[in-house]
Structures are given as C-alpha cells and as structure tokens.
Structure 1
Amino acid sequence: MFAFLALAMLAQAPVPAPPPAIAQPPVLPQPDEPPPEGEQAPEVVPPLPVATLPPATHELFERIKRRVAQVRIIERRSGTKSSIGSAFFVSADGHAVTNYHVVSDLVFHPEDYTAELVRDGQEPVPVKLVDVDVVHDLAVVRLGQPVSDFFALLDKPPPQGTRLFAMGNPQDLGTTIVEGTYNGLVQDALYDRVHFSGAINPGMSGGPTLTGEGRVVGINVATMGNQVGFLVPVDHARALLTRALAVKAEDTGSEALLATVRTQLLDHQQRITERLLATPLPQQSLGPYRVPGRWLPFLKCWGDTPHDPETPYTVTNYQCSSEDDLYLSSQHRTGVVAYNHQHVSSTKLGALRFSALSSAFFGSDPPSVEATREDVTNFRCHSEFVRSGALTLRAGLCLRAYKKFPGLYDLVLRAATLPSAGQGVDTSFTLAGFSPENARKLARHYLEGLAWTK
C-alpha cells in the first residue's frame, strides 16, 4: 500500500528543471602536481593486502565445520534423544569441550543416560564424560578414537569490537555459524561471562565462538535474546582441559565426578564468603530504619512501592540478588545470594490489626531456590529474639542439607522488627550452596546491618 502510494506520488510530481550547465569544468591538479599553496596533500591509504583481510564466513565454515559436533544425551530405555547441545574438539586424542549443563544427566543419573557426538555427515559416536567445571558450566568429553582436526584456544582476549563467529547446532537444525561482536567481560558479574552480540540459540550451548583465524575465544553458554549472548571465557576451558588430559580412567565414574562437583562448590562458597565478610556491609535507608544495601557489585538491587488505594497499608520493597546462579541439574540451582526488605506502614490500622499484619508478613514464605526432594532435605528451623544495636528482632533461621553433596546447605533467614507506631521492617536473606558455618557467619553479619535511625 505505502509503496504503491509512493510510486503514484512520484509519477504525478512535476519533473524538475535540469540544473544549469557548467560552462567550464574545474581544473583539477594532476597526480604529480603539488597541491595549491597553503593546502596539504590528501593522505593516500593503501588497500589492505588480501592476505590480511578476514575470511569470508563460508570459507571459515568449510574449513572448521568438522571440528564442531552435536552432543546427544540418550535415554537408555527408549534409546532416543532426551536433550541436545554442541561441542568442539580440542585435542588429537578426541577430547571435546561442551557445557556442564548439556551433560549434567551423566553426572546425576549415569544409569539412565549416555552420550554421543555426531559430526558433520557422520554416524553418532559414543563419548565418555571425563571432567567438569560446575562453577563455569564446562565439561570435557572424549571419543574412543583420535581426531585429525581440532581447535586451538586463544591465548589472550581480542580487542573489544572484534568480529567473531559462533558455531553450534541450534534447534537440531545442523551445524550453523553466526557472526557477532566481542564486547568484553560482563561488568559486576559473579561468574565470568563474555558479552557476545550475536544470536546464540538453544542447541548451540557448548559450541565454540572463535576469531576469523579459527581460534576459540569462548564457549556458548546463554542468551537473553535480541542478539545478546554470553560466552564462558576460554581461559576456564584451557584450565579444565589441562586437568582432563591428566585424568585417569578410574576417576571418571559418577562417584568421582560427584566428588569433583562437591569440591568445586565448597571452594566456590568459601571464596564468596571471604569476599562478603571482608566487605563492610553498606546500609540503605528504608523509612526510619537502615537495612543492608548493595553488599558487593555482583548484587543487583531494586526498589518499589506499589500503590493501591484499596489497601489500608503501604509496603516499600528493596531487594538485592546475584543475577547468576550455578546449574546443578534441570531441577536444582545453587550459588545464590539474595535478600529482600519490606517496610510496612499504616495510619489506618490500629495497633492490634497492624501487629497481626506484621506477623502475617513475617510468616510468609520467601522465594526459595529451585530444588527437589531428591536434591535436598526439608528445612530445619530455629526462632528466637535477638538484638541488633537498639533494635529487638524476631529472627528465624532455617537450613536444609544437600543429599548428594555433604557439607553444603541452603539457608533462609527471616527477621522482623517489633511493630512500632504503625510501622516496621521485615527482611529475608537467602544463601544456596554454603557450609553451615559460613552460612551462620554471613547471617550474623547480615543482621548487624539492621538499625533504627529515628
């Protein structure tokens, strides 16, 4: 419609008069003549030699496509695919890198699942899971045969803005290559991630993102859509590969892999605990109270006060959380630090009704970290009244244990001020995947951040 109208208007428009003829063309200096006095000669930039130009995408794809494979997780009883991902070869001995979340079923349920790789135009080949890095979402699998073509890993990050190429098997459509841009590490993130401006789609997880020379920069791991993708930096893949090359065959069973995951989680929570305890806890104003604010840069904080004229009280929320977590299985997440404050006030409710309202807020369940009965025990809780400066707090601390990773727990701390003059504050603090000692230390430190400012 619009194209037709535009063409119609063009057809009806009067023909413009031709420009006046130039009586005499301007005189241009000859190539060997000097420029006019007072002017500089234009800089002549020679074209780039052909050898230094980046390769055409199709040429790069044809050269390296056999180094990329599809990972298939096979359910043993039916013999069919239960999930898919991508991987890429990194050694002549048949080692390939992928994401941990692609192969996690082999760690938790090796009796139910197996894995195979499918290379371009070839039959599926069984692979064995060799080693994992659960913190950085990486794994190494190995073919039972050598390969002749594999990737080199980049030694250092490229400059920001470098043209990159992501490869993988999106939506089970076959090996695909996608162009994008390197944008450096994500700032203020708990877990190292590279921001990649390009389309990373389901099924490409575990595939490589590389330079035009074919060197791997990162491993596809996640996407937010709209050309916003994320990569695991290649340094972590290099470290994992170094370990995997030294792993003995007897250390690749399910029990050994679960022990590896447990050790990595314990080390990780210790590092987070030390960072938090070494940082003074900032305070945020909330009504006449001061509450824990943004503790470290990896925590993102938000505030809001919903407005409902029908409600006889006002609630102001302030919450902070680590936006990333650690994937253990499709139904179990860990590595979370989160807290939420609610300032409740009312000029319409009497003392008894407001006290009942405050108790209802305190008794509500905070958002819990995803897990199942197979993963964790029930929460065991303890409540008491505690002092934080001039404040008396009603506090409840709950812990639940990880069944497959002894020594790791989830913690939920609830605390509330005693209602006073039609207002009060309640707070919740959630940790996932911490030792009970570290969880209690952090809970005590957190409560010290609550204060009365009136």
Structure 2
Amino acid sequence: MVQKVSPTVVTINVSTTNGGGDTGSGAIIKTSSTASWISTNNHVIDAAVGGAGTISVELDNGESYDATIVGRDSNYDLAVIKINKGNLPVIGFGDSVAAQVGDPVIAFGSPLALDRTVTSGIVSALNRPVVTGTSGASESYVDAIQTDAAINPGNSGGPLTDGAGNMIGINAAIASTASASGQAGSIGLGFAIPYNEAKRIFAEIIAKGFSTRPVLGVAFDNTYTGKGAKISQLTTGAGSDAATKAGIPVGMVITSINGIRIANYTAAIVRIRSFAPGEIITVVGNLNGGTSKSYTVTLGSAVSN
C-alpha cells in the first residue's frame, strides 16, 4: 500500500526573497497530459504569495519542478498549486465521513524536511474543533480528524490515508511541546482536515481560482463562558442572512448543529464551516427564557479568503 501512495506524495519547498524558507508536503490530486495539480495547506505556501517567494515541488523520484499557486483559502487552511509536468500518479480518494474512531491511518509527508516519511496510527477522535494560525486573517477553523500517527512540522499538507491508502484527510496541525532546542515535536496529537470537506474547496479552486464558504449570518459573543455559542448579532445582506430568514433571534445560545453538541463559539464556527453553501442544517438553541427550540436553516454563501 505504501508503494502505491508514495509516488503521489510530494515535498514542497518555499524560498522567500528575504532568504527565508519552509518545507511542507502535498498530494497529487489531478493530472493531465501537460500539468498536475497538488493539494496542500495554505500555511505551507503563503510566504510565497504575491511574488514574495518561489515554490518548488520535489516528486517521489527526486525530480523537481517550479510550482505556481492556483488558489488558496486561509479560512480552511487549504491551497492548490500546479506544476507543468503531466501524466503523474494521482492519490486515491477515501470517504472521511465513513472514518470511525479506532480505524488505522497512515500519515505521509516530509516532517522536519525528511522526505518520503511514513508514520502510522489510528483515528483518535472525530469532529475535533481546532483553530490554527494567528488571530485575524490567517486564522483557520478545522473540523478535524484527530490521530496519534506521528505528525511533525513539514508533514503539513501531506495526506492522511485509510488502511487502503486512500486520502481521508490533509495533515494540518499538531498539539506539541517544545524541546530544549525550541523545535516543536509530536506528542501523539495530530489533526487533519477531513477530505470530504476539503474536496469541495479543491474543486472550486481548480475550476475558478477561488472557493466559497457557508454563512449562518450571525456574530458570536466571545465573552460568553457558559455551554454553547451565544449569538450577539445577526447579519444582513445577500448570502449573509440565513439565520434571520430562519427566525433565529439574537441572544440564543446554540447547543447543537445537525446533532453535534456545540461546546463554545469556536465549535460552532468549525461545525458551520464543515458544510457547503446552500446546505440545509438543523440548529438547536436555548432562548432567553430557557426553552430549547430547533430551527431549519439554509446556509448562505460568501467568497472565502
């Protein structure tokens, strides 16, 4: 199985004009007679955006090619890059919705710039709300697959596969402790973006150069300390008024979305973004009087940055 997957996994090297650089991983998700498209994380390639650096891709056979950015989405920490080399092997696609806690998984990539590295583990948890990046434009909300397969810096963007070698996730983040040298390392808490969520983003980027995100049309009270996500404001405008149309009031505390318990506002944002624009979801919340009420909401749409 490793022999089947390895030729579809690449090492991504980013060099910046100020002499900096970074290494990440990716997977070949589409190929033609003249070009190939590679999935990765936005944070792997964002230092090269706008001419600030260059990107090269090293294939499993050692060949290296210059790459261009097709599109990226910082909200989901996903990106697609392209090389002018066709007829390459494409990774198999799995079903992340079918993943179960305890299933075997394998992480591929280039941790700490050690290319063609393979580590194994299990699915430790599903629907784990994870926030990556820094507060602001680079902040990403991930409805993650948690795994104990060793993931380290450089694994980012590489595939997490099921036991048959089909991609069910894109390695994105780790929880870690820093060693004496200051380098973060794996402690068995790795997180991957589910493929079923990512494939829509990849398809939109390849087709249009940009992607979209679902919009509930609310702002949350980030000072609220109780259980759930408290709505502080409703938004209006085309594509941004889903909650208003559904009759959801300001002050309601969301307790579940499509049957998944919501612990706080971060979990609410992560869960909303796990859907596609236009999907119909069920939002349950506690009203100011303490009663619980269910709402059917058709999610709006916005261009994702």
TM-score (norm. length: structure 2):
0.62
Q: Check whether the contact 1:136–1:192 (CA below 8 A) recurs between aligned residues.
A: no
Aligned counterpart, 1:130: 70
Distance in 1, Cα, partners of 2:77 & 2:9 = 18
Aligned counterpart, 1:82: 21
Q: Deviations over 1:236-256 (max 9, x none)?
A: 221022113313xxxx5xxxx
Stretch deviating more after TM superposition (184-193 or 92-101):
184-193
- Post-superposition offset of 1:120: 2.3
Q: Check whether the contact 1:140–1:240 (CA below 8 A) recurs between aligned residues.
A: no
Correspondence 1:271-286 to 2 at 5 A: 272-273=219-220, 276=231, 277=233, 278=248, 280=251
Aligned counterpart, 2:191: 230
* Alignment pair present for 1:146 and 2:97: no
* Alignment pair present for 1:159 and 2:124: no
Paired AA for residue 70 in structure 1: T
Aligned counterpart, 1:62: 3
Normalized per residue, the structure richer in strand is 2
Aligned counterpart, 2:149: 198
> Which residue among 262, 279, 290 is the counterpart of 1:297?
262
Aligned counterpart, 2:160: 209
- When residues 104 and 221 of structure 1 are mapped into structure 2, their CA distance, relative to the original with a 3 A threshold, is same
> Which residue among 42, 46, 49 is the counterpart of 1:100?
42
Stretch deviating more after TM superposition (133-142 or 180-189):
180-189
- Post-superposition offset of 1:194: 1.0
Distance in 1, Cα, partners of 2:230 & 2:71 = 27
Paired AA for residue 162 in structure 1: D
- Post-superposition offset of 1:272: 4.8
Where 1:183 maps in the other structure, the secondary structure is: strand
Paired AA for residue 142 in structure 2: Y
Distance in 1, Cα, partners of 2:230 & 2:70 = 31
Distance in 1, Cα, partners of 2:267 & 2:152 = 20
Q: Check whether the contact 2:24–2:110 (CA below 8 A) recurs between aligned residues.
A: yes
* Alignment pair present for 1:114 and 2:60: no
TM-score (norm. length: structure 1):
0.43
Where 2:70 maps in the other structure, the secondary structure is: strand
- Post-superposition offset of 1:268: 5.5
Q: Deviations over 1:44-63 (max 9, x none)?
A: xxxxxxxxxxxxxxxx2222
- Post-superposition offset of 1:198: 1.7
- Post-superposition offset of 1:69: 0.7
Where 2:87 maps in the other structure, the secondary structure is: coil
Aligned counterpart, 1:255: none
Distance in 2, Cα, partners of 1:82 & 1:269 = 38
- When residues 166 and 157 of structure 1 are mapped into structure 2, their CA distance, relative to the original with a 3 A threshold, is same
- When residues 115 and 161 of structure 1 are mapped into structure 2, their CA distance, relative to the original with a 3 A threshold, is same
- Post-superposition offset of 1:183: 3.0
Q: Check whether the contact 1:136–1:236 (CA below 8 A) recurs between aligned residues.
A: no
Where 1:209 maps in the other structure, the secondary structure is: strand
- Post-superposition offset of 1:188: 5.8
Where 1:186 maps in the other structure, the secondary structure is: strand
Paired AA for residue 150 in structure 2: A
Distance in 1, Cα, partners of 2:73 & 2:126 = 19
Distance in 2, Cα, partners of 1:174 & 1:231 = 19
- When residues 183 and 77 of structure 1 are mapped into structure 2, their CA distance, relative to the original with a 3 A threshold, is closer
Distance in 1, Cα, partners of 2:25 & 2:194 = 16
Distance in 2, Cα, partners of 1:188 & 1:246 = 29
Aligned counterpart, 1:311: none
Aligned counterpart, 1:245: 206
Distance in 1, Cα, partners of 2:153 & 2:129 = 26
Distance in 2, Cα, partners of 1:72 & 1:188 = 29
- When residues 104 and 87 of structure 1 are mapped into structure 2, their CA distance, relative to the original with a 3 A threshold, is same
Distance in 1, Cα, partners of 2:201 & 2:154 = 22
* Greater relative CO (CA pairs within 8 A, separation 6+): 2
Q: Deviations over 1:291-342 (max 9, x none)?
A: xxxxx9343xxxxxxxxxxxxxxxxxxxxx749999xxxxxxxxxxxxxxxx
Unaligned runs of 5+ in 1: 1-59, 253-259, 283-295, 300-320, 327-454
- Post-superposition offset of 1:270: 3.8
Q: Percent identity?
A: 22
Paired AA for residue 75 in structure 1: T
Q: Check whether the contact 1:127–1:143 (CA below 8 A) recurs between aligned residues.
A: yes
Paired AA for residue 85 in structure 1: G
Q: Check whether the contact 1:168–1:205 (CA below 8 A) recurs between aligned residues.
A: yes
Distance in 2, Cα, partners of 1:116 & 1:188 = 32
